[in-house]
Amino acid sequence: MAYRIAARHPGRLVTYTAETEEAALAKWEELAADGVPFEMTDADGVRVDDIDLEDRIDARGDGDA
């Protein structure tokens, strides 16, 4: 599922796209660490956060955890 990230860098709005939950979570962590305000939505327009992404990754797991 694709994710859209709208980030408010100083002086400009930037939109990123992440194709996987892992890529979206990596971008989440990067922006949060840099203190950049942002909003992330999934392909259905639903707002997601890092916990949602981790839950989605876990739900895909094959049960070997």
3-state secondary structure string, 10-32? CCEEEEEEECCHHHHHHHHHHHH
Predicted structure pTM score: 0.85
pLDDT 10s digits, 7-25: 999 999 999 999 999 999 9
pLDDT exceeds cutoff 50 at 65 = no
Residue partners of 23: CB distance under 8 A and separation at least 6 = 3
